[in-house]
Each structure stands twice: as C-alpha cells, then as structure tokens.
C-alpha cells in the first residue's frame, strides 16, 4: 500500500499527459536544449528528464547539453543553434532590450527567486554591497550573477567604476577567494557547495543575497524563441510537461535527480551535487507563492518590476511582461503543484 501511495501521484500525472495527447511516439520531434552551465546538481532535474524517460513518455526527443553561462545560452537560442534553454530571465531581458525586440521568450519560470549572491570571507570585513567599492571581484564574464550585478549596484548606490573585475573560469572563482587573490565573488547559492569542498563553511562567509538588497528578481526559466514556440506549440508543451514532472520528482526526492546526473557524469561527487540541488530548491524554488500556486506561477506585477529593474540598470527600453513571459504553453496547474 505504501509503495502505491508513493507512485500514485506520478501515475496520475502521466495519465493526465496521455489524455492531453502526450505520449511516446516513433515520430517525436527532436529538440536541442542547452543548460546554463556544466552538469551539476542544480541542472540535474533536466538530466533526470532524459535518463528517466520523462521526455520520451511525453512524446518528444530532447537532447540536453551543458552550457557556458546564461548569456551564452540565450545567444545560442536566439541564433537557432539551440531550440530551448535553461537560463536566467534577467539576462534574457537584457538581451532583448539590446535587440529592441523579444528575440527570446520565457515559457516556464523555474526559479521563483533568483538565488544570486555576493560571497566574501567573513574575515575580510565586507558586510554590505557598499563595502565592495575598490575591491576585486572574481566572476566569469557570462555568468548571470555578474551580468545582473549592475542591478545590485544601482539598488545600493555602489559606483560600478570602483570595482576591479577578475575574469575567471567558474572553477577558479572560489579558489581565488579562498587564496585571498579576490575579495569577493558573484555566485549563485549553488556555488556554496564548491566552497565547502575547499574547506570553507558558511560560517566562514558573508553571504549577500541580491534579494536582500532591493533586487527581488525572478531567476532561471525555460526559454525559447517566439518563432519556435509559434511553429511548434505542442512540442513546447510536451517539453514543459516533462520538465515539470522531473522538477516535482526532484523536489520530492533529490537523490533521484543526482542518480541520473551520475549516469551522465560518473565523476560527480554525490554529496556536493546534492547540496547544490537542495540549496537551489530551498533558496530559489520553494516559496510561499509556489507552495500555493505551483511551479511556473508568475505574478505579472512582479515580472513587470523585474523587467523595469533590468531596463533601468542597463538604460534599456522596458518591454511588457506579456511579450517576455508566455504562460500559455504551461502544463495544467495540477501538473505543476509542489509535492507535499
């Protein structure tokens, strides 16, 4: 009986998907999806969707590949190199603003809160964004946290010209901080696991969350182009059915997603990657709103605020929330509810 109760929700979701016309097919359309970064814990639900057969059961053939930063992923989708991406919506808003058109759209908001942070060693004395003036900040140029840093500076009155940026690979970012060659880093909360691997615990750090300093942005989402969505609406819906179920199952049992990740990357360290996934679930996904309304539930007013903040920070013309986020491809609400 216990086993049946555990599997019943998944069976119900798959039954709904079948009734909606989703299911495996020999003629499933192939979709190329790029992630925002390397295959790590926070990306593992997408790997679970592949390895666990979620995409194939939904009737779509999705190839998921690692990315090289949100900005890079967005550019590749806009160019047609990929059909869809998992990347930061703030970086997408900036990209569209520079293009003066909605070249890329969001179709499924995964992170209800952008889990962006500035990390520094507690012993450095850096406690607020104002303390970063004149400091060295290490970050990859294309990372979402660096791309969106001007919003934090604008919100807190920090003069960007006083910052000395150190362009580094993600692998070197934490190392430079620990060695004292950088005063701070911009990072997602998932990068805390990498610091723990270097012997630095959270009590050794000052963690400044963007949201705590006036930057309550939406975070990562599933993105595509308006052209791909309009030409392939059923395919986009099938992809999102699988993504929603994989994320629901990963929230209920993170170990399931990490097992899938290890199939793709046998060298992945389970403890580190599980912490990355759990941190992003706790900091960015499970909020009071998503508990109430489910994954992908977007407040139009807050989305408008996110767009306005990005536009102001980069001196861009703001676009409407209606052309930025397209909820019409989402699975039904019951397929997006968080597990109890």
CA nearest to 158, candidates 216, 208, 94: 208
The rounded distance, in Å, linking the Cα atoms of 338 and 86 is 20
Return the pLDDT at 185: 96
pLDDT in tens, 71-109: 999 999 999 999 999 999 999 999 999 999 999 999 999
At 105, is the secondary structure helix, strand, or coil?
Answer: strand
The CB-side HSE value for 61 (13 A sphere, CA atoms) comes to 6
Burial of 309 from C-beta contacts in 10 A (0-12 / 13-18 / 19+)? buried
The rounded distance, in Å, linking the Cα atoms of 107 and 330 is 7
Percent of the chain at pLDDT exceeding 70: 92
CA nearest to 209, candidates 193, 191, 182: 191
Q: What is the DSSP letter of 271?
A: H
Return the pLDDT at 298: 95
| Count of Cβ atoms closer than 10 Å to residue 173 Cβ | 24
The rounded distance, in Å, linking the Cα atoms of 49 and 24 is 14
Q: Taking the mean position of all CA atoms in its chain, how far away is CA 54?
A: 19
The rounded distance, in Å, linking the Cα atoms of 187 and 138 is 9
Return the pLDDT at 3: 41
Q: What is the CA radius of gyration of the chain?
A: 20
Residues 56 and 68: beta-carbon distance below 8 Å = no
Return the pLDDT at 195: 83
pTM (two decimals)? 0.85
pLDDT in tens, 281-296: 999 999 999 999 999 9
CA nearest to 144, candidates 215, 240, 41: 215
Apex 44 CA angle, 41 and 50, nearest 5: 165
Return the pLDDT at 199: 85
The rounded distance, in Å, linking the Cα atoms of 332 and 17 is 10
| Domains identified in the chain and CATH numbers | 2-113+218-335 (3.40.190.10), 116-213 (3.40.190.10)
Residues 225 and 323: beta-carbon distance below 8 Å = no
Which two three-digit tokens encode residue 159? 């003069």
The rounded distance, in Å, linking the Cα atoms of 218 and 220 is 7
pLDDT-flagged residues of the chain (< 50): 1-8, 11, 19, 24-25
The rounded distance, in Å, linking the Cα atoms of 70 and 302 is 21
DSSP-assigned letters across all residues of 166-227? EE--HHHHHHHHHHTS-SEEEEEGGGHHHHHHTT--GGGEEEEEGGGGT-----EEEEE-HH
């Amino acid at each position: 009986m216990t086993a049946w109760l555990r599997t019943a929700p998944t069976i119900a979701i798959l039954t709904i998907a079948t009734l909606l016309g989703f299911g495996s097919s020999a003629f499933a359309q192939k979709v190329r999806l790029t992630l925002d970064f390397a295959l790590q814990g926070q990306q593992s639900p997408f790997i679970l969707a592949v390895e666990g057969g979620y995409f194939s059961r939904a009737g779509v053939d999705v190839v998921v590949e690692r990315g090289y930063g949100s900005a890079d992923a967005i550019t590749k989708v806009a160019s047609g190199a990929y059909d869809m991406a998992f990347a930061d919506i703030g970086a997408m808003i900036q990209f569209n603003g520079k293009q003066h058109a909605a070249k890329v759209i969001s179709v499924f908001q995964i992170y209800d809160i952008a889990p962006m942070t500035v990390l520094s060693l507690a012993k450095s004395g850096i406690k607020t964004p104002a303390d970063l003036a004149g400091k060295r900040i290490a970050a990859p140029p294309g990372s979402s946290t660096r791309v969106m840093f001007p919003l934090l500076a604008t919100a807190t009155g920090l003069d960007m010209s006083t910052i000395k940026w150190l362009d580094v690979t993600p692998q070197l970012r934490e190392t430079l901080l620990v060695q004292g060659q950088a005063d701070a880093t911009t990072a997602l909360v998932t990068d805390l696991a990498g610091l723990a691997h270097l012997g630095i615990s959270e009590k050794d750090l000052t963690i400044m969350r963007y949201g705590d300093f006036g930057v309550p942005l939406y975070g990562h989402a599933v993105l595509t182009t308006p052209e791909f969505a309009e030409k392939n609406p059923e395919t986009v819906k099938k992809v999102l059915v699988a993504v929603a179920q994989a994320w629901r199952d990963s929230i209920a049992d993170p170990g399931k997603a990490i097992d899938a990740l290890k199939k793709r990357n046998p060298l992945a360290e389970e403890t580190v990657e599980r912490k990355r996934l759990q941190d992003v679930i706790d900091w960015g996904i499970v909020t009071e709103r998503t508990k109430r309304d489910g994954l992908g539930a977007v407040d139009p007013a807050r989305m408008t605020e996110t767009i306005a903040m990005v536009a102001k920070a980069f001196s861009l013309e703001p676009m409407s929330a209606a052309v930025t986020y397209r909820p019409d491809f989402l699975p039904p609400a019951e397929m997006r509810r968080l597990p109890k």
